[in-house]
Structure 1
């Protein structure tokens, strides 16, 4: 049966047209082709499996990393009229979970964390169902791991096999070729069995800037100054929970912005409350760790500031991609002082055990059970990896993370076009005509010449009624002026 996807899009969701890549991915799924979809942040990934389920009427199981993200997606589907949707999360009490599992066959869309699917009772219940589509959201988590790594992501290949190898959709916003191959390999696919649909990561409406500062004090002053001048909702990213909290207090007392901190050390209810306040416009700024971001579907975020150095370029691109999703100008500023690199190196050292630590843990496996810090080691130990095999995995991971950090630092000190440097990491290029946009980077001399002309023409004299100055231009000029002060 031939499906008119355009008509179905209008009928089921009220949209007149697909976003780039969506129709191609749906055609691949309806051709029963397992698919790895790389869509930039804001590219409309959730519509893919929602529409597949709406048209096919098959059961869809979605693996998702965050409770707040699952709750948000459940609410959206219910708003669209679907009552057969549920999220299996750790927030459920024993009785709620038991009732849901007993009636699991009543649901068409089932959200679950990778940890929940590691539960034998839950997996058995899902195995008894006929799963039409198995979806892995934020699939890069299978390949990339750091302090917040979820080892049960590595087990999803076995979960997929247990479910009878259903049609599978893997989705993420950014992934290098190496990460894409990692995802496919860990899910036990042959490369040829997966159709890869990779959209460009470039977001031309986001202006890129990095400011190299001499010390922590100058960085703190710069952050306060930026927040006082910038308008609209924003996210400020930190590598430290305590620093995020301190900055939130400082910004709330020294600026007129409504600010709160958000990090993984808070309980689920706290985090969900802060996220909803931000989504509803009751908060201007969130000082967050990387725990904040997945599933933040807020179109009007105007800027993302990185107070600390991101671990790698793919994480950076994902995080800055949360601004300017309405296609209006967005601003990405990275504040850097040389000690930031050592903070990330310490995180790598503290996350990945050295040989002596790993040897001790393998000789004293009780320590793996007693301390959540060693959950990654526990995963490999419990899955039959011997000491040398595990050591090889950790050594390779450390080398990879150090190399990724070096690429991030290189981006900061790069004296050419920042956009070119970012895209080169993903083996992408853009033409000169594409780059001839007002939203490039703080090394774009042509832009500053253009900005000066624009400033003289429009902003240094009263605006005439016939000038029709676009609001988005005024916004971008206001923001970019800060970067030359």
Structure 2
């Protein structure tokens, strides 16, 4: 389903609003499919990179629907910025922020009831305020837009417990369609967002766009001491003429860096974090937005929703907790499409510190027992706020298990016991905390692997997201590609092939494009084959071109790019090495078999050898192509009963439910676990749908 399925009248309405109201002549890639589904009343999760125009996917439909749209957003400043921007376009929008007098509320609610207001922006914690809830239940929105939807997931880097209330709220006001939006969400986070927002049985589309931002060069720089780090960062900011944001992990570090850099730089440097007074934060945002300040030192929240396209530099002075958090911040650079740079500066001690921080914010067992005992004793209890912020996470887990309902109240949370388990509640919840701890440690390992990676950093990021590269030779790639060697290689190969194509066309009296179409040349530039077999895989070469010009094309590529160190796939002349590279990109085994022209059984053997010879961090996430976590646990139990010498007893036990390939791969995983004494399949599984508390 896409926008092109609309009839001419519907397209004319959409195009008219796009041009007349927003002053745009065309939608960006990805926007059309999201808007189409919204207008057709479908619920959608859209994962779109920063700068892809997520806001338009709910702003434009709001002008084509009978009822207003409810937009749930985590930041007051972000809401106010969008409301101001929409009003300049003549769109009536309101933000429910701060204390509202009865007169103000009466006016706002009347405009909502009559449909004069097109968009209402609200923080999730206000959804269950009595008058807001009553109004929206009586007059529900056309659809709900949930911005920064990754905040729903406890597995995400920016979990916000109040976001867990959104699905319950949606159900209680009649299940209007929902549009969830985020820039970064790996598959496990996508599944949890869907689980919490989707109404039972409804279609729920997940649309993802490539996350690659080729205009942002990625750079990691190691320093020896804190003084050297300060000097390096000072130089980066001094040499950058454009706007820059420096990210630190704590409030204290933010203020320290802002003070030190203010002493050393000749331009203003301001600090920003949640602990500063609201007026100070608002002044910093406004100054940066108006280009009165071009240097901000901040925690991760700054930049969310800042509509400034000319940010040229992002600097991290601490390792983020995950690649998701890192790439979300990096994506705030270069939104205008021009060249930008992201630099992470670290010391070796920072790697150790990041490992230790994986457990931060998790409750200890004694505190867990105290909390559960308080809930078990009384059917309704008010749990006070805790300074460590661990209680909301536990309450979210208990609600997922179907044991409680809970809601924020002044000074804490109101908890209503729903049903209590007969088994050991502490052990059940502690098991979930252990799973979350393992997940966070895994995220820290991904982040550290990115820092220590000896190959292309962009390839590492894109492999994590299972997302394709967007080739663009105008921009530098990363420090591992030696300041742009890969881009220069692209340009050199293209120039040589273009000159050769022109000469052959002139000799034969035909257009150069007959000799080699542009699409074929782009594939040759990107993949740079090294052998006849690899050249034959390029779409468009065909037998005739291979016979006529195959040797000449290979010679030109070899001479233009003698070092193939950055092109792992084309380095491999044998099928097994090619398969290893393709496995690492996340390609499903059946597609690998097609790409390398091998039988599926052969590819399965390659896969088994690959996981036997590589660390789990490289292949754990690819197991989803073979079986789920629960399915592996079932097969693992069978191997523990029957042993791994023969597969037939395991196959017979499951009466054909699992095929031979699944069983063989599961055996390889189990053998790794028993040999190394560690659990491989750590990816958490959200609770099954029957335990959903709001059903």
User: Would you call these one fold, judging by a TM-score over 0.5?
Assistant: yes
Q: Which residue of 1 aligns with 2:631?
A: none
Answer 1 or 2: higher relative contact order, Cα 8 Å, separation at least 6.
Answer: 1
The residue that corresponds to 2:531 in the other structure is none
1:451 Cα deviation after fit: 7.3
1:18-417 pair list within 5 angstroms: 18-83=27-92, 85-89=93-97, 91-93=98-100, 95=102, 98-99=105-106, 102-103=109-110, 104-106=112-114, 107-144=117-154, 149-189=159-199, 193-363=203-373, 368-372=383-387, 373=389, 374-380=391-397, 383=405, 384=417, 386-417=425-456
Aligned match of 1:3: 10
CA apart distance, 1:190: 5.7
Matches of 1:39 and 1:174 in 2, distance apart?
A: 7
Q: What is the Cα deviation at residue 235 of structure 1?
A: 0.5
Distance 1:57 1:184 in 2: 26
Whether the 8 Å CA contact 1:63–1:137 is kept in 2: the answer is yes
Residue of 417, 428, 447 corresponding to 2:484: 447
How high is the TM-score relative to the length of structure 1? 0.86
Kindly state the Cα deviation for residue 443 of structure 1 after the two structures are TM-superposed: 1.2
Can you list the C-alpha shifts for 1:83-114, whole angstroms capped at 9, x where unaligned? 3x21112x224546644565342533111111
Distance of 1:71 and 1:20 partners within structure 2: 27
CA distance in 2, matches of 1:358, 1:398: 15
**Aligned 8 A contact 1:233 1:303 in 2:** yes
Q: Following the alignment from structure 2 to structure 1, what is the Cα–Cα distance between the partners of residues 84 and 472?
A: 39
Aligned length: 449
Give the Cα–Cα distance (whole angstroms) in 2 for the partners of residues 326 and 14 of structure 1: 17
Once the two structures are TM-superposed, the CA of residue 210 in structure 1 deviates from its matched residue by 0.5
Q: How far off its partner does 1:341 sit?
A: 3.4
Give the conservation status (yes or no) of the 8 Å contact 2:476–2:483: no
Query: How far does residue 29 in structure 1 lie from its aligned partner after superposition?
Result: 1.5
1:373-404 deviations in Å (ceiling 9; x for gaps):
23333555653475444333322222111101
**Using a 3 Å threshold, how does the CA distance of structure 1 residues 33 and 413 change in structure 2: closer, same or farther?**
same
* 1:315 to partner: Cα distance: 1.4
Assess, with a 3 A threshold, how the Cα gap between structure 1 residues 367 and 237 changes in structure 2: closer, same or farther: farther
Displacement of 1:260: 0.3
Unaligned 5+ runs, structure 1: 455-485
- Rounded to whole Å, the distance in 2 between the matches of 1:340 and 1:101 is 49
Larger Rg: 2
Unmatched tracts of structure 2, length 5 or more: 1-6, 376-380, 399-403, 406-416, 492-695
Indicate conservation of the 8 Å contact 1:139/1:172, yes or no.
yes
